[in-house]
Structure 1
Amino acid sequence: MILFRGREAHSRSFAKAVSWRILGSFDTFLLSWFFTGSPKAAGAIAISEVVTKMVLYYFHERAWANVSWGFAKDEGEAAEKTA
């Protein structure tokens, strides 16, 4: 698949997605608790968004892995192009 020809292993993208979701879910829980005043409601909100956001982040990362825009050029590569 063209979407998955990045420079990063699938396992690395998945690990990044999981660690980000843990942090993001903690944030969602705290904000939900603050706005609802209910830790039970906050937990339900935080749990319900975990899987969908993790999957979305994974595919987002894999798609960006195929975009070369914004990377610093390798010195050897730049020298080859000027020669």
Structure 2
Amino acid sequence: MLSSRLPDEWVVARRREIGDNIRDARRDRNLSQEAVALAAGIERPTLVRIEAAQASARIDTLIRIAAVLDVELSVLVRKR
């Protein structure tokens, strides 16, 4: 059973996986960070921070990014 407070390392590792999944999907489609951010209605620095695991992403933001990349949300949040 998970404790009520997850270790910070675990959370950071999952954010890194999600960021890597976003970056991989973006690169597979030959899209720039600027193009994805613009189409998703977010600022480029926000996308940079999400891909680098330096910031948490709201579910709404992940849904928008998934739509722009034409992938299911599950692709972006899958474990590696």
TM-score, L = length of structure 1: 0.38
TM-score, scaled relative to structure 2: 0.40
**Which structure's CA Rg is the greater one?**
1
